[in-house]
Structures are given as C-alpha cells and as structure tokens.
Amino acid sequence: MMETPVVTRREFVRRFMHEAGLTFDQACRAYSAMVSIMEDGLVNGHKITFGRVGFLRPVRKPPRDVTMSFKRLPDGGIAKTKRVFHLDERIDYKFKFCREFARRHQLRG
C-alpha cells in the first residue's frame, strides 16, 4: 500500500524561511503561534478558515446513549451483558474547499 505524503512542521518552517524571509527562530515561533491558534479554535468549536483554500466547519453531535450487549472477560471470552454508556455532545470537523480553489485545482469540494 502506498503511503500518503505528509506536510510536517519541517516543511512549514522551511517555507516560512524561504518564501516569507523569516529567520529559523522566527519561522519556528510563527509555526508555534499558528498551531496554538488552531488548537484554541478546534477546542472551542470555531470555524477555521485557511485563506482561499477552504475551511474546517464544526459539526455538533448531540448527546446520546450507547448500549453494548457484551463484555470481554480476562480469559479472552465474551459474556452477554447490557451496559449503557452516555456520550456527551461531540464536535466533528468537516473540511470544505472554497469553490474557486476547488475549480482551479479540479478538486471535489
């Protein structure tokens, strides 16, 4: 199976240095600030935009009860039982490309 390429911190720092003219220290601080802003937005359920590329949209899921009808035993076996777990409200995020960006790069949005 082919591995998906990953854009890492190293690539962000390199681009900040070469394209924005920042020093290594400035690029590292810019990256840390960018990640910190994203963390705060994700934790607080905010919509996060990425310029003309797209945005992360929060999708709130209501609380619900989940029923499990089995329990795993220490010896590896399974016992029938009824357990109910309460899941609090959750936030999932969906990424949506901006129309113009998706059209220009022939992506599905």
Alpha-helical segments (H) within the chain: 9-20, 24-43, 99-104
Buried b (16+ CB within 10 A) or exposed e, 23-38: eeeebbebbeeeeeee
pLDDT of the residue at 109: 52
Q: Model's pTM, two decimal places?
A: 0.73
H/E stretch holding 1: none
> In this predicted model, which residue has the larger pLDDT, 2 or 4?
4
Span 69-96, pLDDT tens digits:
888 899 989 999 898 999 999 999 999 9
SS3 41: helix
- First-to-last CA distance in the chain? 26
Span 12-42, pLDDT tens digits:
999 999 999 999 999 999 999 999 999 999 9
Span 34-63, pLDDT tens digits:
999 999 999 999 999 999 999 999 999 999
